[in-house]
Amino acid sequence: MNFELSEEQTLLKDSVTRFVSDRYELESRRQYIAEEAGFSADNWRQMAELGWLSVPFSEEHGGFGGGAADLMVVMEEFGKGLVIEPYLATVLLFGGTLAESGNAALQQALIPQIIDGSLHGALAFHERHSRYSFSQIDTRAEKTGSGYRLNGEKTVVLNGLAASKIIVSALDSSGGISLFLVDTDEPALQRTGYSLMDGQQVANIRLNGLALGSEALLGEAGGGADILSRVAVQALVALAAEAQGAMQVLLDTTVEYSKTREQFGVAIGSFQALQHRMVDMFASCEQHRSLLYRTVCSIDEDPSNRDEQDIAKNLHALKIMVGRAGKHIGAEAIQIHGGMGMTDELAVGHYVKRLMMINTTLGDADYHEQQFVELARK
């Protein structure tokens, strides 16, 4: 396989690298998180101006028309900087669901607003007992004469506080999953915000008899689970690419630290036991990178040659590797840094926290291992 980046992808990578280098010192990140929205509005405008918000959208909707490889390039660099802006939530989950919905009018109206940075969105699909399944939900959509009425609660909604529009999944009268576009200024929608361990702002959302018109339905009634499954393909690749960036920084930082930290009059990097551990860290990082490339290549394959079952297996295996490699590299980085690895002042702990949250987003390693086994048995 040829893993060399195209000229366009190289330019894209270089622009994101410069952005992260210029704007994402650890102290700057703290300041962004402290802002009301939980991220920097100025950074978001800059991302829009540079065209990054358009990467996954088709040219028909004013996008770049990028594939999984283009998305990987952006997200890996975001991972290196621990970028806090809600690219996953607004562009990939909210925007991706719009793009997959088949609703041309809403696509034409809203996707350009996502691309120019004026619209923030969120996807509310998770509930307290969902266990990462799109289908195990209690939120109900009751059919009324003029539309629908929604009741239920969604939890851990990424970008749920800053979003002006949210896509909500609900069980319809047939027992299938349907998706609805909701304005967050509706009185019957209540949001409770809080922060996750990696600094992300999320929200729990309560729907108390929220009345919607029939135009709020995205796609076909009962077809929401299929739409979400397609959206998850891009999102899982993005999370894995972000994890790759974070793991690479932890590896590089640990190796560099071992060259300067002295014990017994010599650099600790000269100790063979620590060298072996850092080699194991490198192996985990490269194993994850190889599986990421394999998955991206399978997704970007010519449609006539695509193997959907192979893609599904690759995605499950990749998410398993995210959890295992992330845990291994994070734990070793903290231990080799010693007590200071646990402090908030050092970047190491922040990368480890982010890797922990990536592991739990859209299914942890244990969940995807179970899904992989079930798929392999078919």
* CATH code: domain of residue 354: 1.20.140.10
Strands 201-213 and 189-195: antiparallel
Could you tell me if residue 315 is inside a domain? yes
- Residue 138 has a pLDDT of 95
Task: Please say whether the beta carbons of 143 and 68 come within 8 A.
Answer: no
- Residue 2 has a pLDDT of 61
- Residue 146 has a pLDDT of 86
Could you tell me if residue 2 is inside a domain? no
Give the whole-angstrom CA distance, residue 10 versus residue 251: 23
32 and 133 assigned to the same domain: no
pTM of the predicted model as reported, rounded to 2 decimal places: 0.96
Radius of gyration of the chain (CA): 21
Give the whole-angstrom CA distance, residue 131 versus residue 137: 10
Could you tell me if residue 138 is inside a domain? yes
Amino acid identity of 66? Answer: G
Confidence of residue 78 (pLDDT cuts 50, 70, 90): very high
Structural domain including 351 reads: 225-376
Could you tell me if residue 341 is inside a domain? yes
- Three-class SS state of 3: coil
- Three-class SS state of 143: strand
Closest CA to 375 of 297, 298, 312: 312
CA 318 to chain centre: 14
39 and 74 assigned to the same domain: yes
At 208-230, the pLDDT tens digits run 999 999 999 999 999 999 999 99
47 and 99 assigned to the same domain: yes
Could you tell me if residue 294 is inside a domain? yes
Q: What is the percentage of the chain residues whose pLDDT exceeds 90?
A: 90
Q: What beta strand segments (E) does the chain contain? A: 121-124, 140-143, 147-158, 165-171, 177-183, 189-195, 201-213, 217-218, 262-263, 266-267
Mean pLDDT of 73-82: 98
Of 203, 222, 241, the residue at which a domain comes to its end is 222
Q: Taking the CA of residue 198 as centre, how many other CA atoms within 13 Å lie in the half-sphere pointing to its CB?
A: 24
274 and 316 assigned to the same domain: yes
Does residue 1 register a pLDDT over 70? no
At 266-317, the pLDDT tens digits run 998 889 999 999 999 999 999 999 999 999 999 999 888 889 999 999 999 9
- Residue 174 has a pLDDT of 84
182 and 213 assigned to the same domain: yes
Cβ neighbours around 3 below 10 Å, total = 10
Could you tell me if residue 1 is inside a domain? no
Tokens of 337: 């840094």
12 and 107 assigned to the same domain: yes
Confidence of residue 199 (pLDDT cuts 50, 70, 90): very high
Give the whole-angstrom CA distance, residue 63 versus residue 54: 4
Mean pLDDT of 173-202: 95
184 and 198 assigned to the same domain: yes
155 and 216 assigned to the same domain: yes
Of 199, 222, 245, the residue at which a domain comes to its end is 222
φ/ψ of 156, rounded to 5, equals 50, 55
- Residue 305 has a pLDDT of 85
Confidence of residue 192 (pLDDT cuts 50, 70, 90): very high
CATH of the domain at 63: 1.10.540.10
Of 66, 85, 119, the residue at which a domain comes to its end is 119
- Residue 342 has a pLDDT of 82
42 and 103 assigned to the same domain: yes
At 225-270, the pLDDT tens digits run 999 999 999 999 999 999 999 999 999 999 999 999 988 889 988 8
Could you tell me if residue 206 is inside a domain? yes
351 and 248 assigned to the same domain: yes
Cβ neighbours around 108 below 10 Å, total = 12
State the total domains in the chain: 3
If you write DSSP's letter for every residue of 219-268 in order, what string do you get? SSTTBHHHHHHHHHHHHHHHHHHHHHHHHHHHHHHHHHHHHH-EETTEEG
Residue with tokens 């959907």, as numbered in its chain = 308
Confidence of residue 101 (pLDDT cuts 50, 70, 90): very high
128 and 102 assigned to the same domain: no
372 and 251 assigned to the same domain: yes
At 327-353, the pLDDT tens digits run 999 999 999 999 888 888 999 999 999
Mean pLDDT of 187-199: 96
- Residue 302 has a pLDDT of 86
φ/ψ of 92, rounded to 5, equals -90, -45
Q: Picking from 1-5, 6-10, 140-144, 202-206, which range would have the lowest pLDDT averaged per residue?
A: 1-5
Residues 6+ apart with CB under 8 A from 168: 124, 125, 139, 150, 154, 179, 180, 182, 205, 207
Cα torsion 329, 332, 337, 343: sign: positive
Could you tell me if residue 235 is inside a domain? yes
CATH of the domain at 190: 2.40.110.10
